[in-house]
A and B are shown apart, each in its own frame.
Chain A
Amino acid sequence: MTSSTLAHTRPPFYRDTRTIAILLQVLFLIVVLVSGWFLYNNMVTRMAAGNTAAGGALSWSFLSQTAGFGISEGPTFRPEESYSRAYLIGVINTLRVGIVGVILATILGLFAGIARVSNNWLLNKLASIYIEIFRSTPLLVQLLFWYVGVIAALPTVQDAADLAGIGYLTNRGMYLTWIYPSETGRALTWWLLGGVLVGLLVSWLRRRQLERTGVPGSGALAGAAAFVVVVGVGYAVAMFTTAMPATTNYELRRGDRGVLFEDLNGNNAFDLNVDRGLAHVPITLFDADGQVIATGATDGDGAFRFVDLPAAATRIEWRTPAPLAISEPQRQGFNFAGGISLTPEFTALLLALVAYTGAFIAEIVRAGINAVNKGQWEASRALGLSTGDTLRMVVLPQALRVIIPPLTSQYLNLVKNSSLAIAVGYPDLFNISRTIVNQTGAEVQGILLVMATYLSFSLITSLFMNWYNKRVALVER
């Protein structure tokens, strides 16, 4: 019938959707390529006219050149080192503030979010005020407020605020008492790492055993115990087997400062990069009459310095330190020495990022908890669980499924927002990349490098959080 004639009438090729699709894509590709070429061409022309120091349009050779600038914090960096290492320090600094920030913001957000669903009216409203204020104002304003308004207004080093004996708060930063592995405790890091591994293993075994026997509980306690045992053994081993190096020597300068080191080349003088400074060793200084004039300890690089000595020191003695040394901040002239110090820039950035992101995380946690069916609360109440147990064992594990995807993007936001460090001068990767660009003129390369770094952070975080999300996802039959 008619169908046989219809089957053979095909639309003309220019009305065939498949052809149109291909043509459209080809057209699109041409437009993209032409405009890309146009932009690139302009750039090359202008850069050639502008005569930038970076050489050609896209030369990466500047990375191995000498940086020539110092970096105020992070791992030690000397101006003689290369731009690529300077950038690496920036990446480390970004990760430093990013990782600490993510942990603290999660804790703050979790508490604020739980407070937001609390049936205590006052606490609920307090959390809500915190969330609204910090979510509705720009992070940059908060950062500048913390940095210029709060930290710069703290007392000076001379009349530093005492933090109940654990440290000092000044406008030059925060100084806290800290525990460092000393010269004899160098191996402790490995014991610590081993302890973590053994702890994880034991807790996993214990959990499996508990699951088999059907006893409620987690393996966390057994794991923690294993960790403590391993670290304790490590400490004892370090204490009884490690001694000071036989070639311990010291160099004393200007009667009040110097360095204690292991004389590796045996020339009785300290050579940077050859001899090894001895960290956190207790020392005593004597003057020419053999009188004790000061006692103290070396710092992490083996150096020591004392101010206001009654007389010039001529000789020092050292004792074998315990594997772990407690280092207290002590006022030295216009600054503090010892302990751990957080610069005003780091502190301000951390505070701002944590307070800001915490508010967003709190809303996510609240939404997640609200997403858990009310019947779950009632059921666990009926089983006799307390509110805390209900939250911990019933509600939060279920809420986690809703919480994790938006939480991931908040973590990424925190890391991306840490680029605001440039507003306060914290040397994060973006700030350092600007310094490099300003010195070399490698504008395009600098931007590409920064973008690639942030994109890889995003990728790694997303991969990890996706893996975690799969772990907590609902396992359906």
Chain B
Amino acid sequence: MATDVHSPSWVNTNHPAPPQRPPASEVGVLGWLRTNLFIDIGNSILTIVTLIVLYYIVTNLVQWAIGAYWTPIWVNRKIFAVGLYPTAQLWQPALVLLMVSALFGVSAGQWGSMIRGLGFGLGVLLLALALIPIGLEAQLVMAGSLALLVVGYFIGARLPIPNKLLSIAWILSLPATLILLLGGLNFPAWGISWTFAPLVDTNLWGGLMLTMLLAVVGIALSFPIGVLLALGRRGNLPVIKYFCVGYIELIRGVPLITLLFMGMTMLPLFLPSNWGNPSQLVRAVTAITFFSAAYLAENVRGGLQAIPKGQYEAAEALGLGSFDKLRFIILPQALTKVIPAIVGQFIGLFKDTSLVSLVGLLELVAVGKAVIQQPEWLGVPGGVAKEVYVFVAFVFFIFSYGMSFVSRKLENKLGFGKR
């Protein structure tokens, strides 16, 4: 009050009214309920109808899940995981898992961001599998992989490992995986035969392992083709450009299943007769690669289009040749931009690999079909189809949703796709 004499007459010198608590209907649980569920009459009706529908769905689902017969899945867990792979040689896929986990760990520590998210998801999965009593040896492998993942993460985070080395390790991991799973190298046509274990025929590979392998190999092999196609389509050489456009549009215009059938029946026809017939796995991978390349090319093209013209001009001004320009300026930027799109495409391809079950490969869905047909479950009333397909869908869901979740988180963080 002492300062009143200095204040101009128009200043309100009364103390402001003491702050009041907002009404109970605006804050807390009640306020949340009101704004989110019962804001007006229409909304309240909607909420109640939704609640009734939800109650109906949930009670039926829970009832079904409790009464369902899950034994076939538990009994066949090995087939779901690796197909008919010989039990005595399961250490080979185990080694692959250990190798990939270690690589994942190191890369997650080194590169962070999306790889870290995916590595975290892998860790959770490994932990869950190590804790579920699926079999002592398998659990030990899972625990070992988890340990390698964690150790690798800290090594990657602490030690300066050159990016180039890590990339080469990833690239080499693919042939290493194939050799490990095969048990050696065997090309009788070229006189190469080196084995460290009895050779495992690719027709015995199956289950989730095959699903994963098809998707990873498909994306990896289609990557160089896709980039070349995208560059060809963006380039200014008309012959190459129209060839690329024709290829991309042709492949994108037809369903994958036609390509798979084509690969299965026509690929052997296209090869010289003294080469013999490629295995079914090779045929499927070829079809998937050619399919995936067209979609990848379109994704990469999107990235190329997003590079401002100034980058090209600046590279030219620096005196870089066409190849160096692409290698050092354009592609690094374009490929970084399309990582989310490529992850999306990988998820799509992962789901699409289920189609190879229609051409005789024993991946997850085909294993499911085989399990349903097993004579042990003939007596189960209503059959076990629902249980098996729900399980297969669940496995696919974990991986696809996990990957898309990580990718979306990253996009939000980096501001990709923000308007």
Q: Is the CB of B255 within 8 A of A447?
A: no
Per-residue 0/1 for B325-365: is the Cβ within 8 Å of any A Cβ (1 yes, 0 no)? 00000000000000000000001000110110110000001
Per-residue 0/1 for A402-435: is the Cβ within 8 Å of any B Cβ (1 yes, 0 no)? 0000000000100011011011000000100010
Residue B50 lies at the interface, judged by CB distance under 8 Å to chain A: yes
Per-residue 0/1 for A450-468: is the Cβ within 8 Å of any B Cβ (1 yes, 0 no)? 1100110011000000000
The count of residues in chain B whose C-beta lies closer than 8 Å to any C-beta of chain A is 60
* Residues of chain B within 8 A of A417, CB atoms compared: 255
* Residues of chain A within 8 A of B347, CB atoms compared: 136
Q: Is the CB of A420 within 8 A of B257?
A: yes
* Residues of chain A within 8 A of B271, CB atoms compared: 42
Q: How many whole Å from A169's CB to the nearest CB in chain B?
A: 16
A21 to B238, CA, bound (A): 10
* Residues of chain A within 8 A of B382, CB atoms compared: 153
* Residues of chain B within 8 A of A122, CB atoms compared: 36-37, 47, 50-51, 54
Q: Is the CB of B237 within 8 A of A21?
A: yes
Residue B91 lies at the interface, judged by CB distance under 8 Å to chain A: no
Residue A376 lies at the interface, judged by CB distance under 8 Å to chain B: no
Per-residue 0/1 for B380-419: is the Cβ within 8 Å of any A Cβ (1 yes, 0 no)? 0011011001101100110011001000000000000001
* Residues of chain A within 8 A of B351, CB atoms compared: 136-139
Residue B254 lies at the interface, judged by CB distance under 8 Å to chain A: yes
Q: Is the CB of A455 within 8 A of B386?
A: no
Residue B41 lies at the interface, judged by CB distance under 8 Å to chain A: no
Q: Is the CB of A136 within 8 A of B401?
A: yes
Residue A121 lies at the interface, judged by CB distance under 8 Å to chain B: yes
A471 to B295, CA, bound (A): 28
Residue B372 lies at the interface, judged by CB distance under 8 Å to chain A: yes
Q: How many whole Å from A10's CB to the nearest CB in chain B?
A: 19
The count of residues in chain A whose C-beta lies closer than 8 Å to any C-beta of chain B is 58
Residue A32 lies at the interface, judged by CB distance under 8 Å to chain B: yes
Q: A29-B239, A455-B250 are in contact. Are A153 and B47 (CB under 8 A)?
A: no
Q: Is the CB of B270 within 8 A of A28?
A: no
Residue B18 lies at the interface, judged by CB distance under 8 Å to chain A: no
Across the interface, A454 reaches (CB within 8 A) one of B53, B258, B385, namely: B258
A43 to B268, CA, bound (A): 8
Q: Is the CB of A144 within 8 A of B369?
A: yes
A434 to B237, CA, bound (A): 39
Residue B243 lies at the interface, judged by CB distance under 8 Å to chain A: yes
Residue among A132, A422, A451, A458 with the highest chain B CB neighbour number at 10 A = A451
Residue A133 lies at the interface, judged by CB distance under 8 Å to chain B: yes
* Residues of chain A within 8 A of B357, CB atoms compared: 140
Q: A138-B365, A153-B382, A444-B266 are in contact. Are A25 and B240 (CB under 8 A)?
A: yes
A371 to B237, CA, bound (A): 37
B53 and chain A: residue at smallest CB distance: A126
Q: How many whole Å from A251's CB to the nearest CB in chain B?
A: 44
* Residues of chain B within 8 A of A443, CB atoms compared: 265-266, 269
A450 to B266, CA, bound (A): 14
Residue A149 lies at the interface, judged by CB distance under 8 Å to chain B: yes
Residue B378 lies at the interface, judged by CB distance under 8 Å to chain A: no
Q: Is the CB of A42 within 8 A of B389?
A: no
Residue B128 lies at the interface, judged by CB distance under 8 Å to chain A: no
Per-residue 0/1 for A8-39: is the Cβ within 8 Å of any B Cβ (1 yes, 0 no)? 00000000000001001100110010000001
A420 to B358, CA, bound (A): 9
Q: Is the CB of B50 within 8 A of A43?
A: no
* Residues of chain B within 8 A of A141, CB atoms compared: 354, 365, 368, 389, 392-393, 396
* Residues of chain B within 8 A of A253, CB atoms compared: none
Residue B272 lies at the interface, judged by CB distance under 8 Å to chain A: yes
Residue B262 lies at the interface, judged by CB distance under 8 Å to chain A: yes
Q: A119-B36, A138-B365, A140-B355 are in contact. Are A149 and B389 (CB under 8 A)?
A: yes
Residue A152 lies at the interface, judged by CB distance under 8 Å to chain B: yes
A132 to B394, CA, bound (A): 12
* Residues of chain B within 8 A of A387, CB atoms compared: 42
Residue B87 lies at the interface, judged by CB distance under 8 Å to chain A: no
Residue B261 lies at the interface, judged by CB distance under 8 Å to chain A: yes
* Residues of chain B within 8 A of A49, CB atoms compared: 273
Residue A53 lies at the interface, judged by CB distance under 8 Å to chain B: no
Q: Is the CB of B352 within 8 A of A148?
A: no
Q: How many whole Å from A311's CB to the nearest CB in chain B?
A: 41
A417 and chain B: residue at smallest CB distance: B255
A26 and chain B: residue at smallest CB distance: B239
Per-residue 0/1 for A174-215: is the Cβ within 8 Å of any B Cβ (1 yes, 0 no)? 000000000000000000000000000000000000000000
Across the interface, B397 reaches (CB within 8 A) one of A47, A137, A148, A420, namely: A137
In B6-38, the 8 Å CB interface with A consists of 35-37
Q: Is the CB of A126 within 8 A of B46?
A: no
Q: How many whole Å from A153's CB to the nearest CB in chain B?
A: 5
Q: How many whole Å from B358's CB to the nearest CB in chain A?
A: 6
Per-residue 0/1 for A239-275: is the Cβ within 8 Å of any B Cβ (1 yes, 0 no)? 0000000000000000000000000000000000000
B357 and chain A: residue at smallest CB distance: A140
Residue B160 lies at the interface, judged by CB distance under 8 Å to chain A: no
Per-residue 0/1 for A112-140: is the Cβ within 8 Å of any B Cβ (1 yes, 0 no)? 00000011111100100000110111111
A45 to B269, CA, bound (A): 8
Residue among A136, A144, A149, A430 with the highest chain B CB neighbour number at 10 A = A136
Across the interface, A123 reaches (CB within 8 A) one of B39, B46, B250, B261, namely: B46
B48 and chain A: residue at smallest CB distance: A122
Residue A170 lies at the interface, judged by CB distance under 8 Å to chain B: no
* Residues of chain B within 8 A of A118, CB atoms compared: 46
Residue A142 lies at the interface, judged by CB distance under 8 Å to chain B: yes
Q: Is the CB of B396 within 8 A of A149?
A: no
Q: Is the CB of A121 within 8 A of B36?
A: yes
In A375-395, the 8 Å CB interface with B consists of 387
Q: Is the CB of B372 within 8 A of A430?
A: no
Per-residue 0/1 for A432-452: is the Cβ within 8 Å of any B Cβ (1 yes, 0 no)? 001001000001100100110
A49 and chain B: residue at smallest CB distance: B273
Q: Is the CB of A119 within 8 A of B39?
A: yes
Q: Is the CB of B46 within 8 A of A423?
A: no
A–B pairs, 18, beta carbons within 8 Å = A24-B240, A42-B272, A120-B50, A136-B397, A137-B351, A141-B393, A142-B393, A152-B383, A416-B254, A419-B258, A420-B257, A420-B358, A423-B358, A437-B265, A447-B258, A451-B250, A451-B253, A454-B254
The 10 A-B residue pairs with the shortest CB-CB distance, nearest first, are: A121-B36, A149-B386, A138-B354, A136-B400, A25-B239, A416-B255, A138-B351, A148-B385, A145-B389, A137-B393
Residues of A within 8 A of B (CB): 21, 24-25, 28-29, 32, 39, 42-43, 45-47, 49, 118-123, 126, 132-133, 135-142, 144-145, 148-150, 152-153, 371, 387, 412, 416-417, 419-420, 422-423, 430, 434, 437, 443-444, 447, 450-451, 454-455, 458-459
18 further A-B contacts with Cβ under 8 Å, apart from A25-B237, A120-B47, A419-B258, are: A28-B240, A42-B271, A49-B273, A123-B47, A123-B50, A135-B400, A137-B396, A137-B400, A138-B352, A138-B365, A139-B354, A140-B365, A141-B389, A145-B386, A149-B385, A447-B261, A455-B253, A458-B253
